[in-house]
Chains A and B, each alone.
Chain A
Amino acid sequence: MQYSLHFALTLLGAACLAGFLGALLGVGGGVFIVPVMVLLFHLPVKVAVAASIVSVIATSNAGGSSYVDQRITNLKLAMSLEIATTIGALTGSVLAIYLQQWLMLTIFSLMLAYMSYAAFTTRNLDDQKIASEEFAKAAPDRLSRYLELHGSYHDLAANRDVQYIVNGSAIGAAVSYLAGLTSGMLGVGGGVLKVSAMNRYMNVPMKVAVGTSKLMIGVTAAVSSILFFLAGLIHFPVVAPVALGTTIGATIGTMVMNRLHSSLLKWIFTALMAYLAYGMLAKGLAMRFGIYLPSLGV
C-alpha cells in the first residue's frame, strides 16, 4: 500500500465526516467508516473492520467519559452487561478472522439495511414516562435486585431527577451478547442494539441507555482489538487517520446534534444507510458469484 499524502488526508476527511454523521444519529462512526474504507478506498474488508474497531474505542472514550462525568452512565449496569458483550465480541472477532470477505460484506449490508429501517421506526416515549414517573414504578427482577442496578440521573431537558428501576436482565444480557458479536465481527460499536434493548426491555431511560452503552462499547471493542492486534490484522497507518478523524468528527457532531431538526435527519440517514447497504451487497455478490449489479456510484 502506497501511503501517500492524498490517501492519508482523504481518509482523515472521510473519517471526520463518518464520525460527525454517526454522532448526529447517535450510532458511532463505525457504521459509516467501514463501507467508506471498503467502497471508496478499496481496502480489504478485514483491514477496514480491524481499523474501525480501534477507532470505535476512541469515540467510546470521548463520548463515554463525558456521560460518566455528568453521572448519566449507570456504571453497575455497564459492568454487568459487559460480561455478555465481551464474550460476544470474542465470538465475533474469531468469526471475522475466519469468515470469507463476501460473507462479511453481505452480513454488513444486512445490518445496514436493518438500521436504515430501525432509524425510521424507533419512537422515543421517554418524555411521557419521565413525566408520569413510570421509570421508578417498575418491579426489579431477581438479578437486578441482587446487583442493585437501579439508579437516577438529572435530566436537563425535563429539569428533574429521574429515578429508574432496572429489570429484564435476561433479555438484556442476550441482546448484549448479540451486540458484542456484531461489534467484533463487523467493526462497529453495536450501540443501537444495546440502547434499544435497555430502553425497551430493561426500563432504562434513553439518556442513561446511551451513556451506559457508550461506556460498554470501549471494553467490548478492546477485546476484539486485542485479538486483531495480536493476529497482525491492524494496520496502524490506516488506524491513525481513522481514529483521529472519527474522534474529531464525533466531537463536533455531538456539539451540533441538539440544534438540528430530527425528522429531516432521519430521512437522510435512512437513505444513506440503504445506499451503503446496496453498495456492500453489490461488492459481496461481485466477489463471490461474479454478479455485477449497477454500481450507482459506489
Chain B
Amino acid sequence: MSRVPKQSEKAIQLYKDDTAYMQMLYDALALDESEEAEINRAVIQAVMDRSNAVLQCIERDEPFIASWYPYSAEFLTAMDVTWWMFAQTAFLGIETPHVLEDIDGGERLLGSDFCTVLRLLLYYVEADVSPKPSALVALLHPCDGTTIVHQAIKHGKWADVPIFGADPPYWEDERAIEYYATEMRRLVDFVSEITGKKLDIDRLREVCEQSNKIYALWQEYNDLRRAVPCPHDWTIGPPQAFAMTTYYHVGKPEGEEWFKKLVANAEKRVNAGVSGVTGGERIRVLWFDILPLLWQWDIQPWMESEWGINIVMNMFGYTPFTPIDTKNEKTMFHDMAKRSLNDFPMVRQARGVADNFLSDIERIVKDYKIDCVIWPGHMGHKDGAASIGMMREKCREIGVPFLHIGLDLFDKRYTTPDEVKDQLNRFFSSHRLG
C-alpha cells in the first residue's frame, strides 16, 4: 500500500511554481559576485533542494512528513526522513505572487484576528494547494493558534493524514524535560511507523555531534555580531542561520560548511571595521520577534537608509542553544527535548511563563550593545501582547527605549509600511536616537 497520499495536481503545480520562483531569485543573486551573495545563494539552494526532495518523494511514492522547527529534528536527519517545515511558505520571507490572495483565503476560513501564518496553513490545506504528507507532526505550542489550527487541519481535508502532537509542559525544569523526552520518543515511534524507518542510535549520535558543531559556529557568528559596527545588516545572518540550523541542514556537514563561510565573512568584516549598514550604523536595534518576513523590503531598507538602523539581533537569531550530550540514548533524548522546549526561538519565550521574554531582552541588550528594543506586536502573538507591560518595564529598568508597534508580520495591509515608518520616526526622534 502506498505510504504517500494522493496529491492534488494544483498542489504539486504550486509547489513547483514556488520552487521556480526561488530559482529566479537564485539566478538574480548570481549576478552579485560578493561573498555575502554567495552565502545567501546557498540558503536558497537549500530551500530548493528541500522542495525537490519532497517532490521526489511524491514521484517515487516514498513517505515524507510535515513537521515544525521546534522539534529538534536531529532524529529526522538520523532516520533519513524527508520533511518540510509546515509553515515554510510564510517563513521563507518571500512575497510570492499569490501570497496576499492566499492570506485573504485564510481570512475567509478563520477571520482576521487569527495569526496570518496559521491561517495560511489551513487555507493551503483546505484549498488543496499543499502537498499532502504521509503524516503531520502537529505543534501544540507556543500559542493557542497552533494548538487549534492543527485540529482544524485534521478535521478537514487531511482527515486521513495521521497526526501526532507532543504534549508540551509549561515548565522548563528537569521534570518537564524528562516528560517531553518521553513525548519525543513517542514521536519517533510515530514517525517510524509511518515511514518504516528506524532510528539508529549510533547514527543519531553522529548527527547530534554534527549538530553541536553547527550550533557552536552559530554562537561564534553571533559573537561577531556584537561588534560595533555590526558586520552584517538584516539581509544576512540571523534568519538564514536559524533556517539552516533548525531546518535545512540539521546535523549535516553542509550546515557546518555554510556556517564556516558565514563566520569567515563576518570575521573579515569585523577586522576591517566594515559596517553591515551602507552609510554607517547609527542605531542598534533588537527586533524582538520574527522580521516582517513578507514585507521586509518595504521597511528594512528604509530603516537603514533613513536612520542608519541595524537590526543587530532578532528573536530568531538569538541562540542560547545548549549542546546535546551524546553519551547515550537517554542523554540525547533528554537534550533534544531540552532544546525543543527551552532553546528554539519563540517557543523559548512564548511557551511558558514570561520570564524568558524579559531575561532574553536583558541579555541581548547587554551583549549586543542595543540602543533600543522594538516589539513589533504581531497580531497573532496574543501572549506577547499580554507581556508588553512587563517588557516595557524591563527596558525601563535597564535603560533602553522600548517601542510596541502593533502590526502583522506577514500582511502589510494590517498596519501599512507608512504607518509603521511614522511610528518609528516619532520613536527615534523622541528618544533622540540616530
Chain A complexes with chain B: no
